[in-house]
Amino acid sequence: MRRRSPPAPSRPNRGGRGMSDRVRRIAARRIRRSVSGGAVTTAVDGSVVGVWTLGEWASRTTHSTVLPAMLGMITEGGSVRTVWLSKGHLWSCGFPVGVTEVSSATGSTRMRSLSRDPTWREFERTRAGRFAGEAPVRASRYVPQWVRISVTQRDGGRCVYCGESDPRRLELDHRLAYSKGGASDDPDNICLGCVKCNRSKSDSDWGWG
């Protein structure tokens, strides 16, 4: 009797072709963002799905690396679908769908690079902390929100010393210690470090990548 070969293993869902119709990425050509008066308006196929301050938009975008967020709803092919933000990308999702399913479906997708995003450049140019109601504090140990967001994006959500990526173990570290005059409002002097590395470093000046 002829033996049947085992079925080929299924390929992991990477957010592209073959993705379930329930969660699919929205093509960049369908998305329009405009910035006016410190506010970001995001639209899909001409329908507005959200309006936020620059600071709120940047915070939502960077935090979507860890946790997806629902933004609004659109109509596709006569059906109403929800719009989610995950890994910096927008996703069209069918009903019902929750954070767990969106996170699972988009988990292997790489975070969208923001370095060439005109909205992100506008955020950095204006140091959008003030649009979120927070003025940078230069003479303080406190790290302003706009610096936190910029550093998180730059360092890819990992400790620059050992590569730790668990957000529960990450914190901000001064490259040149605050006690030695290191600035808190300069992204070049702030980096992501895990608790262990930060405690080991203390006030010393380690090199970092």
* 189: CATH: 1.10.30.50
**Banded model confidence at residue 206, pLDDT cuts 50, 70, 90:** low
Structural domain that includes position 89: 23-118
80 exposed, middle or buried (CB, 10 Å; 0-12, 13-18, 19+)? exposed
Q: Count Cβ atoms within 10 A of the Cβ of residue 72 and give its class: 0-12 exposed, 13-18 middle, 19 or more buried.
A: middle
Give the CA distances from residue 199 to residues 5, 27, 147, 171, 206, in Å, rounded to whole numbers and listed in that order.
55, 43, 21, 11, 12
**Total of domains in the chain:** 2
Residues 108 and 152 in one domain: no
Given 88, 118, 148, the domain boundary residue is 118
Could you tell me if 85 and 155 lie in one domain? no
Is the pLDDT assigned to residue 35 strictly greater than 70?
yes
CA distances 52 to 34, 116, 143, Å, are 11, 20, 22
The 10s digit of each residue's pLDDT in 67-122 is: 888 888 888 888 888 899 998 899 999 877 888 889 889 888 888 877 678 887 78
Residue with tokens 């570290």: 173
SS3 59: helix
What's this model's pTM, rounded to 2 decimal places? 0.53
pLDDT (average), residues 169-178: 87
Distance between CA 67 and CA 73 in Å, rounded? 19
